[in-house]
Amino acid sequence: MKKTAVILALILVLGLFAGCQWHEYRTPSSTFAHKIHAKPLEQKGFECLDCHRFAKIEERDFKKAIAASERHLFPGKAICHYCHVEADTRIGDAPGSCAMCHLDMYAIRPENHLLKEWKKFHALEAKSDRQSCNTCHREWFCADCHTRRDSIQTMMHPRTYRFSHSVEAQIDPASCGACHPFRFCIDCHSGKQRRYN
């Protein structure tokens, strides 16, 4: 325990002193950099007016476009998502990770995604309207959660769950079965070749 406390304290101190620039919150529009986008957009044949609603900037005059659009002429998420997200139109150069632009993922979370509880009760939605899931999530997102085990990240259960799982299993075994076949239980409880139990 002492070892852990020391390491945690070190980590915190390191983290505290690591930065010379304090946290600066960025919205998707302030994250956008014309410098990065100019070349690929030009290669793809986009003009300034394809994104921005202004009339008097000469074609491909990026300096003026940058000056005008940085804050006041942000064209809206549909324009960004056209290349970065939408399955039918996205382009290979454009990273599709939401966290690229959305530093606060909570801000774009659908209303019914009620923190951890949503994971337990998302099946009904996923069955009836998979398309709405695919608005934000790719296939690997489902497979990652449904298949990945023993990660440092807590996907579904609390970290202490191994100790207390039997209590919940006796209350709500139907929810165990949503992810685990019965052999998952047998392997551990029979002491069968599972390491470090």
Residues 59-78 that bind other proteins (CB under 8 A): none
Report the candidate in 131, 105, 133, 129 with the shortest Cα–Cα distance to residue 119: 133
Dist. CA 51–CA 14, nearest whole Å: 43
Nearer to other proteins, 72 or 194 (CB): 194
Binding to other proteins (CB under 8 A): which residues in 144-173?
144, 146-152, 154, 158-160, 162-164, 166-173
Dist. CA 188–CA 197, nearest whole Å: 8
Nearer to other proteins, 61 or 144 (CB): 144
Count Cα neighbours of 30 within 13 Å in the Cβ-side half-sphere: 5
Nearer to other proteins, 68 or 98 (CB): 98
Binding to other proteins (CB under 8 A): which residues in 68-127?
82-83, 87-97, 99-101, 103-104, 106-107, 111-112, 114-115, 117, 121, 123-127
Q: What distance lies between CA 9 and its chain's CA centroid?
A: 28
User: At closest approach, how far in Å is the CB of 57 from other proteins?
Assistant: 20
Nearer to other proteins, 61 or 166 (CB): 166
Dist. CA 46–CA 39, nearest whole Å: 10
Binding to other proteins (CB under 8 A): which residues in 172-191?
172-174, 176-187
Dist. CA 71–CA 51, nearest whole Å: 14
Contact region with other proteins (CB under 8 A), list: 57-65, 67-75, 140-148: 140-148
Binding to other proteins (CB under 8 A): which residues in 14-43?
14-16, 18-26, 31, 43
CA 149, 150, 154, 159 torsion-angle sign? positive
In Å, the largest CA–CA distance within the chain is 75
